Structure formats: structure tokens, C-alpha cells
Amino acid sequence: MYAVMMFIHILGAAALGFYLILPFVVGKMSKLSLAAQEGSAAAVRSLNTYAQIALVVQLLTGGYLMSQGKYSVPWMVIIVILLLAIGAIGGMMGKPLRVAIDSIKNSQDISAQTAKIRTLSALNAICVLVMLFFMVYRDII
């Protein structure tokens, strides 16, 4: 059972890799045509939803894996805080993405929404990188 959970956990981590490339995708979005911007924003919104589902999978499989191993309490607290931060930031990206898609359909400027999405995606990428660091070096704490 441990091996199956570890495999699912690693697949979930791969899905969260979306947050690592998202700042670069959002940075190039403003240079696209309106139709391409709308398609890109819709794709990012869908992928963000899938990444949120992967985050729940990470929570469940990670909880099982933590119950089977010996981890320090500070490490577990840091990981749970980072997991919650990634989920919260990903959730906060939903509204600017929705507003950006609506603004593009009405031929309005989306620079303010793009700036919010870029900032939130950069924060999320940093949280994912920090979490990866603690996953690789779990004995550091």
C-alpha cells in the first residue's frame, strides 16, 4: 500500500509542477492577440482547477505517508502550512482569471488582472519550490 500511495503522491507532485511554469506563461500572455489571450486564460483556469484537485490528492496521500514514517513535528507543520498556502493562493487566482476572461470577451484591458495573476503565480511557484526543498531535505529540521 505504501508503494501505491508514494506513486500517487509523486504523480500529484508532478501535477503541481504546473505552478512552477505558470509565472512564465502568464508573463507572455499579454503579448498575445485577444483570442489567444482568452484561450490562454481559459486553459490556465482549467489547469489551476486540476492542480487544486491534485493538491487534495497530495494532502490525502501525504497524510498517509506521514503516518507511516518518522517525521519531525516542525517539518510536518511547515509542510502543512505550505500546502495550505499553495491551495489558498491557487484559489485566489480563480477570481482574476474569471474576470480576465470576461474582460477579454468584452474587449476590455486585462493588465490589472494579469498583474494579479502574475504576482499570485510567482508566490505559488516560490511555495512549491520551498515545499520541494523540504521534501528532498526532510532531515534538515
> Which of 4, 89, 97, 104 is closest to 42 using CA atoms?
97
**How much is the average pLDDT of 36-62?**
93
- What's the CA gap between 85 and 83, in Å, rounded? 5
Checking if the pLDDT of 69 tops 90, the result is no
Domain-wise residue ranges, the chain: 2-140
To the question of pTM greater than 0.85 for the whole model, the response is yes
Using CA atoms in the order 81, 127, 9, 18, what is the torsion angle rounded to 10 degrees? 140
The pLDDT value recorded for residue 123 is: 97
Average pLDDT over the chain reads 92
Cα angle 111, 115, 117; round to 5: 115
Structure-block grid coordinates of residue 134? 523540504
The pLDDT value recorded for residue 86 is: 96
CATH of 2-140, one of 3.40.630, 2.30.30, 3.30.70, 1.20.120: 1.20.120
Checking if the pLDDT of 47 tops 90, the result is yes
- What's the CA gap between 62 and 76, in Å, rounded? 10
> Which of 39, 54, 25 is closest to 120 using CA atoms?
25
